[in-house]
Structure 1
Amino acid sequence: MTRSDPSSALSVHVHELPWRDAGDLLAALEGEPWLACLDSGGDIAPRGRWTILCRDPVHRVVVRAGQCFVDGCEQAAGALEILRDLIPTFPCPDGLPFAGGAIGFADYRFGQQAHDLSTRHEPDPQQLEFAVGIYDCAVILDRRERRVWLAGYGTSDTMARRRVQAMDLWDRAVAGTPVPSMPPVRFVMDCPADDYRHAVTRAREYIAAGDIFQVNITARMYGARPPGLSPVAAYRALRATSAAPFGAFLSCGADFALLSASPERFVSLDVQGIMRTRPIKGTAPRDPDPVRDRQIAEDLSLDEKECAENLMIVDLMRNDLGQLARIGSVSVPELFNVERFTHVHHLVSEVRAILLPGHDAIDVLRATLPPGSVTGAPKHRAMQIIDELEHSSRGPYCGVVFRIGGDGAMDSSVIIRTLVMTRERICAAAGGGITILSDPDREYDEMRLKVAALLAVFGDTTQRGSGDD
């Protein structure tokens, strides 16, 4: 893989710290701007082992209304090109996944622009299209071994200062800090329920006409942000009820925060150049009765519509990775695997490929945004239909949270099961893949199932549409 500034001689430092729970550390950091936490939860194996916590970035890259800023200064170059130049080059310590680098997100609109697609939806002026911090150190929590390290790069003086900051945080982190209760919030959907069902019907008509094979139709729910509500407190409440392998908390300045309980890996890239993506398509509810729960999982694995939906996205991601893959290296080692999460079963597959020499994580992001599992196939036409049928801008929803380390390795997740908090409101969103076999009522119910856990954080269990009784 190509890395910028390979001659850079940065020192890497690792310092072990006493064990602390990630929730207690987050509570002690409440109110801190540009706090980033990549927060694995649920089962520890195979993808829920590490939690990465970063604060106080050395650089901040932000895109708002199409304009890129670095540390508040307007830039002429694009965000990804700037990011490539800002990420330092250094080896990651053996056994640790990250020791500094870039952590942030790119929203759905950012991916639209990469495909030269316009949109009829006005963006929320309080939301960001892209926000990334460059961090010179990270607190790394190993949930399997219950060990913690402070790992970073720079001079000895820099790391000494970071150790002092870490010890101050350890002193403030109180073991067993209770998860705060959330104030009630009533959410309203961005369209009447019948309009969502009609969008599913129209999507099926496009499929029947041969325009597309599949398309993802989504909706957003909006609620007023209660005065004084802390994003960290809300995230701690979310992670307590919706533990997920790709959870994330990003506070990007004072008035924007992303709170994610995503179950879905987007694309990972390791130092050997192996790319992996694990698209999710296919959903069924959990059941408290173990026998019924196993039967639901088995039925999902055999469901013709759900398997067809998953297979089409597997083919799309084979094509996306194939743009940058060595010839003959694209494979599908897992197909239609049922994975169990806190509230639902999901049908998950894996696509794997080897990156061509001369390319890096930035190239992979540029080639694959936005995620195929939340657009459809063919991707370009599906995104045009999404813009026609959906009632509001997706914003960060269906974008990507990602990290890129100094060793060039990347991991990323799809922004689903996610709350977005701005100064005035909270947004939740959900949707599903539509195929020729889709039933509008069933798709509406699946969308409600997916969003239910997000709304329940604030006591809203109704999931009303603006036209529902």
Structure 2
Amino acid sequence: MGDVLAVLEGEPWLACLDSGSEIMPRGRWTILCRDPVHVVEAHAGRCFVDRREQAGDALEILRGLIPAFACPDGMPFVGGAIGFADYRFGQRTHGLSTRHDPDPQQPEFAAGIYDHAIIMDRLERRVWLTGYGTPDVMARRRREVMDLWGRVVAHVPLPKMPDIQFTMERSARGYRRAVAQACDYIAAGDIFQVNITARMWGARPPGLSPIAAYRALRVTSAAPFGAFLSCGSDFALLSASPERFVALDVHGVMRTRPIKGTAPRDPDPVRDRQRAQDLRLDEKECAENLMIVDLMRNDLGQLARIGSVSVPELFNVEHFTHVHHLVSEVQATLLPGHDAIDLLRATLPPGSVTGAPKHRAMQIIDELEGSARGPYCGVVFRIGGDGAMDSSVIIRTLVMTRAGICAAAGGGITILSDPQKEYEEMCLKVSALLSVFGNTSSGEKEHD
């Protein structure tokens, strides 16, 4: 996959949903799309279609642009929409304001409508070109793909990443204080759980390629929901997410797999298995996971048939490159007359990175965190012409603009949380991102 991306360097509106994990079936497919038919963007609540401002809501506009067509059996995606909605976009769906200034270089929402897709099957080791265009359009797409494959003639070496100094938005003491304040809210009965995060920034060296950085990230952090989105020339999303947000199949079955609970890996297999077992039995981590399961049952329940909500998996431990995670699954059946757009609107932003109750947790997040989350804690999604959708939570993600690179991490806070341990867990999560660029110092400040 890296060799294919390397020859597409600099191509705007490139979308790659990259399953770089051995966790099957969520690690089976990689979807590559380029040259969208239409582009939908939202900046500060204003919507644009193909760079022209258009009145209306971004999700409603997107719904009107996705054509309806059947998807062949066995194919995950034939064409349709691929994009992302950031955390601020989710705040807007809840009618919430923010005290943080957004980055003007970053869209709140961006999606391309693609009439084709290159599908790579990791299980059967096959590559497919799919699409819904006219015969002439598909013939042109075939020629483009053959030309692309002709350029991928040999292994493209991965360039060495530059050393980059990242600076944390606040000190370790400041992060611990925010966690302690969150615990106070919980003790007062204001909320049950809340996710507290932090961001780190580094200057983008001249000539640093987003695709090269993403290829390096894939090497160090393979994940079942990786994504590379190039939204124009000045913004790119490089995600190694382990977490599915919501999926919807053609039969109306909704699934979400919230992650809450983390333990570091150990190079010794015996100790590593013990850490996984300890995570499964940890009172604080299980309580945190259960609260998010209840929140997601409520979110899906807004659009679910009565009696269809179930929890087929609870407190399952999944293993990733750097950490073990506690994962559960919630399922439900979508009510007739609703679709993937309705499902996104009802569930944004993800409950696993907000808290419970969601609305109040989001208000506290805005009060306690030091900056706007931006794309972090938003959602990458794909919606096909057959109505099926899959999406991932934007965590373990680098955001690149013309001037800088942002990395972020956080964790769920409960009444049992210890501020120092929460700080250490946040550092563990972000370390995989910073290690791409060698110098992993947070550069934390002594004073806020």
| TM-score, normalisation: structure 2 | 0.99
> Is structure 2 residue 300 aligned with structure 1 residue 321?
yes
Which residues in structure 2 correspond to 1:361-376 (within 5 Å)? 361-376=340-355
Q: Which residue of 1 aligns with 2:388?
A: 409
Q: Which residue of 2 aligns with 1:213?
A: 192
C-alpha separation between the residues in 2 aligned to 1:328 and 1:375? 26
Q: Which residue of 2 aligns with 1:278?
A: 257
Q: Following TM superposition, by how much is the alpha carbon of 1:181 offset from its aligned partner in structure 2, in angstroms?
A: 1.2
130, 134, 140: which one aligns with 1:151: 130
SS in 2 for 1:182: coil
Which residues in structure 2 correspond to 1:379-398 (within 5 Å)? 379-398=358-377
User: Could you tell me which amino acid in structure 2 is paired with residue 428 of structure 1?
Assistant: A
> Is structure 2 residue 67 aligned with structure 1 residue 93?
no
> Is structure 2 residue 284 aligned with structure 1 residue 310?
no
SS in 2 for 1:133: strand
SS in 2 for 1:85: helix
Deviations 1:275-299 (A, max 9, x none): 0000000000000100000000000
- Give unmatched runs, 5+ long, in structure 2: none
C-alpha separation between the residues in 1 aligned to 2:157 and 2:240? 19
Alpha-carbon contact 1:452-1:463 (below 8 Å) kept: no
C-alpha separation between the residues in 2 aligned to 1:103 and 1:180? 28
Q: Which residue of 2 aligns with 1:163?
A: 142
Q: Which residue of 1 aligns with 2:181?
A: 202
216, 219, 234: which one aligns with 1:255: 234
Q: Following TM superposition, by how much is the alpha carbon of 1:239 offset from its aligned partner in structure 2, in angstroms?
A: 0.5
Alpha-carbon contact 1:36-1:103 (below 8 Å) kept: yes
Which residues in structure 2 correspond to 1:99-118 (within 5 Å)? 99-118=78-97
User: Could you tell me which amino acid in structure 1 is paired with residue 176 of structure 2?
Assistant: R
C-alpha separation between the residues in 2 aligned to 1:437 and 1:125? 38
C-alpha separation between the residues in 1 aligned to 2:157 and 2:250? 39
Q: Following TM superposition, by how much is the alpha carbon of 1:402 offset from its aligned partner in structure 2, in angstroms?
A: 0.1
Alpha-carbon contact 2:165-2:440 (below 8 Å) kept: no
Q: Following TM superposition, by how much is the alpha carbon of 1:375 offset from its aligned partner in structure 2, in angstroms?
A: 0.1
C-alpha separation between the residues in 2 aligned to 1:467 and 1:395? 25
105, 108, 112: which one aligns with 1:133: 112
> Is structure 2 residue 149 aligned with structure 1 residue 173?
no
> Is structure 2 residue 224 aligned with structure 1 residue 245?
yes
C-alpha separation between the residues in 2 aligned to 1:160 and 1:201? 60
C-alpha separation between the residues in 1 aligned to 2:207 and 2:427? 28
C-alpha separation between the residues in 2 aligned to 1:460 and 1:320? 40
Alpha-carbon contact 1:284-1:344 (below 8 Å) kept: yes
C-alpha separation between the residues in 2 aligned to 1:44 and 1:169? 29
C-alpha separation between the residues in 1 aligned to 2:21 and 2:305? 35
Q: Following TM superposition, by how much is the alpha carbon of 1:42 offset from its aligned partner in structure 2, in angstroms?
A: 1.8
% of aligned pairs identical? Answer: 80
User: Could you tell me which amino acid in structure 2 is paired with residue 437 of structure 1?
Assistant: L
C-alpha separation between the residues in 2 aligned to 1:298 and 1:338? 8
2, 19, 27: which one aligns with 1:48: 27
Deviations 1:54-77 (A, max 9, x none): 000000000112110000110111
SS in 2 for 1:163: helix
Alpha-carbon contact 1:44-1:143 (below 8 Å) kept: no
C-alpha separation between the residues in 2 aligned to 1:316 and 1:467? 37
397, 412, 419: which one aligns with 2:398: 419
Q: Which residue of 1 aligns with 2:167?
A: 188
C-alpha separation between the residues in 2 aligned to 1:465 and 1:363? 41
> Is structure 2 residue 329 aligned with structure 1 residue 354?
no
Alpha-carbon contact 2:88-2:108 (below 8 Å) kept: yes
Deviations 1:77-134 (A, max 9, x none): 1100000000000001111000100000000000000000000000011111000000
SS in 2 for 1:449: helix
Q: Which residue of 2 aligns with 1:267?
A: 246
Q: Following TM superposition, by how much is the alpha carbon of 1:461 offset from its aligned partner in structure 2, in angstroms?
A: 2.5
Alpha-carbon contact 2:166-2:440 (below 8 Å) kept: no
> Is structure 2 residue 271 aligned with structure 1 residue 292?
yes
User: Could you tell me which amino acid in structure 2 is paired with residue 98 of structure 1?
Assistant: F
Q: Which residue of 1 aligns with 2:37?
A: 58
Q: Which residue of 2 aligns with 1:4?
A: none
Alpha-carbon contact 2:17-2:227 (below 8 Å) kept: yes
Q: When the two structures are aligned, how many residues end up with a matched partner?
A: 447
C-alpha separation between the residues in 2 aligned to 1:173 and 1:415? 29
Alpha-carbon contact 2:171-2:446 (below 8 Å) kept: yes
User: Could you tell me which amino acid in structure 1 is paired with residue 131 of structure 2?
Assistant: G
Alpha-carbon contact 1:330-1:354 (below 8 Å) kept: yes
C-alpha separation between the residues in 2 aligned to 1:271 and 1:244? 25
SS in 1 for 2:164: coil
SS in 2 for 1:306: helix
Deviations 1:287-334 (A, max 9, x none): 010000000000000000000000000000000000000000000000
SS in 2 for 1:461: coil
- Give unmatched runs, 5+ long, in structure 1: 1-21
Q: Which residue of 1 aligns with 2:421?
A: 442
SS in 1 for 2:437: coil
Alpha-carbon contact 1:111-1:370 (below 8 Å) kept: yes
Q: Following TM superposition, by how much is the alpha carbon of 1:44 offset from its aligned partner in structure 2, in angstroms?
A: 4.6
Q: Following TM superposition, by how much is the alpha carbon of 1:149 offset from its aligned partner in structure 2, in angstroms?
A: 0.3
User: Could you tell me which amino acid in structure 2 is paired with residue 148 of structure 1?
Assistant: V
Runs in 1 of length 4+ with deviation above 3 angstroms? none
C-alpha separation between the residues in 1 aligned to 2:129 and 2:62? 24
> Is structure 2 residue 73 aligned with structure 1 residue 78?
no
C-alpha separation between the residues in 2 aligned to 1:159 and 1:55? 14
Q: RMSD over aligned Cα, in angstroms?
A: 0.8
Q: Which residue of 1 aligns with 2:202?
A: 223
Q: In terms of mean alpha carbon deviation, does 176-185 or 84-93 score higher? A: 176-185
C-alpha separation between the residues in 1 aligned to 2:335 and 2:443? 48
Q: Which residue of 1 aligns with 2:444?
A: 465
Q: Following TM superposition, by how much is the alpha carbon of 1:385 offset from its aligned partner in structure 2, in angstroms?
A: 0.1
Q: Which residue of 2 aligns with 1:6?
A: none
Q: Following TM superposition, by how much is the alpha carbon of 1:33 offset from its aligned partner in structure 2, in angstroms?
A: 0.3
User: Could you tell me which amino acid in structure 1 is paired with residue 239 of structure 2?
Assistant: S
